[in-house]
Chain A
Amino acid sequence: MTRHHGVRTSIRGTLIGQQSLAPDFSLPDLTGRKLDLSSYRGKVVLLDFWATWCDPCREEIPHFVELQRKYGDQGLQIIGVSMDDGPEPVRNFYQHFKMNYPVVMGDAKTGELYGGVLGLPIAFLIGRDGRISAKHIGATDISVFEKEIVNLLRSKAGSG
């Protein structure tokens, strides 16, 4: 078990511990426009570090599309952070899988901000107050995400 930014984590599982603010970043999306994480304060954010060539990452994407469709109007915002070496395969993937949430191109600096993204997928759940509530390493059952998202959506901003 390890600690990154005060959030307890374990491989292939989730433990929720001391909450810390999600590090802000400004990264280009697939059209080149900058996306600032801080602009989503007030929403529940699922931050998914992934890559097109990562098999377990790909398996999660259709489920994330469904979660965004199901809970988007309640305040969920999924943001994909691609760790691919370039945007071209990501653009193709985005269209093919009809992704309905923004994807930005990640970099090493952003990975380090989040404690090192040294394996994929890694997903962070961030509450309406901008605090990280969970970190999932490796493929995670979508029901786990959904349960946590529903709990976070019920929380008011500021109450975590």
Chain B
Amino acid sequence: MSLPIKFRQMLLVFIFGTVAFALASLAFSYQASLIPASRLVNPDELVKILQSARSEKPLMIQVGSHVLYTQAHIPGSEYIGPASSDSGLQALRKRVEVLPRKKFIILYCGCCPWSHCPNLKPADDALHAMGFTNVKVLYMADNFGADWVEKGYPVAKGD
């Protein structure tokens, strides 16, 4: 009767492994989706902020790929690097460490469809862990090309 016991053990291991893998995959794949809606800003809202003479101008930080940034980015925004990497997160922390914690900061990426972006959630988490209280994340459903460039919003090229 040892075979059924071994079989049950193997089945339990398989089920546990499958569930763990699925949870890990889910957590990784949908990181940006975990950012609370209250911290998001839409492209048209950001454009209004940038065009308004009265609004506080944010520090805009792109936390995606340099190749993508070089092709097109929001004028005045700064490239930091993919926040899914340790080097990108370090660069982000270094850039903002001396800033007042009430500084208005916009994070954006647009590398991938929103639910698959690996960069925004780590960047948002890092800034909140540092005590920043006025951070917004630019919501782009598909990517920077479709949700910003092709909408005709302002674009700059180069480094």
What is A's interface to B at a CB cutoff of 8 Å?
2, 11-12, 51, 53-57, 83-85, 106-108, 111-112, 116-120, 137-139
What interface size band does chain B fall in? Answer: 20 to 34
**Which residues from chain B contact A55 at a C-beta distance below 8 Å?**
28-29, 112, 116, 118
- Contact status B71-A119, CB under 8 Å: no
**Which residues from chain A contact B65 at a C-beta distance below 8 Å?**
51, 53, 83-85
Among the listed B81, B85, B149, which residue makes an inter-chain contact with A118, where contact means beta carbons less than 8 Å apart? B149
State whether the Cβ of B68 lies closer than 8 Å to any Cβ in chain A. yes
- Contact status B113-A56, CB under 8 Å: yes
Most A CB contacts (10 A, CB to CB) among B28, B119, B150 go to B150
A106 to B71, CA, bound (A): 12
Among the listed A107, A108, A138, which residue makes an inter-chain contact with B142, where contact means beta carbons less than 8 Å apart? A138
- Contact status B113-A117, CB under 8 Å: no
Tell me the interface secondary structure of chain B in the complex.
loop
Q: Kindly provide the distance from the CB of A23 to the nearest chain B CB, expressed in whole angstroms.
A: 14
Q: Kindly provide the distance from the CB of A60 to the nearest chain B CB, expressed in whole angstroms.
A: 12
Q: List 12 A-B contacts (CB under 8 A).
A: A51-B111, A56-B116, A83-B68, A107-B67, A111-B71, A116-B145, A118-B71, A118-B146, A119-B144, A137-B142, A138-B113, A139-B113
- Contact status A119-B110, CB under 8 Å: yes
Q: What 0/1 readout, one digit per residue, does chain B (100-133) give for beta carbons within 8 Å of chain A?
A: 0000000000111100101100000000000000
Closest residue of A by beta carbon distance from B69: A108
Tell me the interface secondary structure of chain A in the complex.
loop
Q: A12-B142, A117-B67 are in contact. List 14 more A-B contacts (CB 8 A).
A: A11-B142, A53-B65, A53-B82, A54-B116, A55-B116, A85-B82, A106-B67, A112-B71, A116-B145, A116-B149, A117-B145, A118-B110, A118-B143, A118-B146
Among the listed A53, A57, A107, A139, which residue makes an inter-chain contact with B119, where contact means beta carbons less than 8 Å apart? A53
A108 to B64, CA, bound (A): 14
A85 to B119, CA, bound (A): 14
A68 to B65, CA, bound (A): 27
Q: Kindly provide the distance from the CB of B43 to the nearest chain A CB, expressed in whole angstroms.
A: 13
Most B CB contacts (10 A, CB to CB) among A2, A55, A118, A120 go to A118
A49 to B116, CA, bound (A): 16
